[in-house]
Amino acid sequence: MIRKNRSKSSPVGIFDSGAGGLTVASAVKQLLPHESIIYFGDTAHLPYGDKSAEAILHYSRKITDFLLGHGCKIILAACNTVSATVWDNLNRYISGKAIPVNVIDPVVENVVRLYPGSFISIIGTKNTVNSLAYPEKIKKLSPGAKVSSLATPLLVPMIEEGFINDDISSAIINAYLSDPKLKGTETLILGCTHYPIIRDQIIDYYENKVEVIDSAMIVATRLKEILESNDMLNESSYVTDRFCVSDHTEYFGKIAAMFFHDQIRVEKIDLWR
């Protein structure tokens, strides 16, 4: 149940440490074009991948308060690091005020259902990998599953600095994906919402022989099911989207333009003043 002042036309709140969650926001807009979204990228504190759980919870709660303050009916943590490290606490914080959604549960359920018996690997931030959230959740649903994980911490700063589809990103991606821990991978989960931005380079590395799982459309589909089952789909024709960051960075706008075709204005909001 959510608070009575949330209505069908209330926005969907989506947040991440930076531009990564835009991959999910863009899938949400493709699938649910009649929903208004408020996106918050915490660029002032990026990356979350090596911060303490305490700091991540502090940032996530502050952003959640901002999104709740704008009447969001859903709070979607479009960040694996948040979903892996502080989700139980954040879920409780949001519950009763809006519908909490994380990015890990829908992906795990999808992969276990669609790729039974496959050797599943996960790449993600140090925090996501060290939390063991993915292997534990996968093994809970599929006890005999073969799972391996590798922290790939350079990928988020690389992407946020605009190193995409070039020699530098190819060298870093190749160095990580050739790690022995990933040898024999049949299904690779991109366990960070930034990674779909370099999905094509990852597919090229594997010469199309590995299933590369991108959370964006899986999570957007789950969001649609949640809105439908709660009778909360927007029926009004008034749709407005906002894109907010805690600090202006050179590449947030460029990455946003890749997904939203230059149509967006990025607002700087200082939640920590």
Task: Show which residues are catalytic.
Answer: 79, 192
Selected range binding ligand DGL among 73-81, 109-117, 198-206, 257-265, rule: CB under 6 A: 73-81
Rounded to whole angstroms, the Cα distance separating 44 from 206 reads 34
Rounded to whole angstroms, the Cα distance separating 137 from 254 reads 35
Residues 6+ apart with CB under 8 A from 31: 217, 220, 221, 223, 224
Residue 49 binds ligand DGL (CB under 6 A) = yes
| 38 vs 197 by CB, closer to ligand DGL | 197
Do residues 135 and 149 make contact, with C-beta atoms less than 8 angstroms apart? yes
Residue 10 binds ligand DGL (CB under 6 A) = no
Q: What are phi and psi of 266, to 5 degrees?
A: -100, 125
Residue 46 binds ligand DGL (CB under 6 A) = yes
Look-up of token digits 């694996």: 80
User: In this structure, what token pair is assigned to residue 128?
Assistant: 């996501």
Could you tell me how far CA 253 lies from the centroid of its own chain?
Answer: 18
| The binder of ligand DGL chosen from 156, 158, 218, 219 (CB under 6 A) | 156
Going through 95-207 in order, the beta strands assigned E by DSSP cover: 99-102, 119-124, 146-151, 187-190
| The binder of ligand DGL chosen from 48, 59, 87, 176 (CB under 6 A) | 48
Q: Regarding beta strands 211-213 and 187-190, do their DSSP bridges make them parallel or antiparallel, or are they unpaired?
A: parallel
Selected range binding ligand DGL among 30-38, 45-53, 57-65, 218-226, rule: CB under 6 A: 45-53
| 93 vs 195 by CB, closer to ligand DGL | 195
Do residues 90 and 65 make contact, with C-beta atoms less than 8 angstroms apart? no
| The binder of ligand DGL chosen from 16, 60, 227, 232 (CB under 6 A) | 16
Per CB under 6 A, contacts with ligand DGL among 169-228 are 192-194
Per CB under 6 A, contacts with ligand DGL among 77-136 are 79-81, 125, 128
| The binder of ligand DGL chosen from 17, 26, 118, 169 (CB under 6 A) | 17
Rounded to whole angstroms, the Cα distance separating 13 from 245 reads 13
| 8 vs 260 by CB, closer to ligand DGL | 260
Interaction site with ligand DGL (CB under 6 A)? 16-18, 20, 46-49, 79-81, 125, 128, 156, 192-194
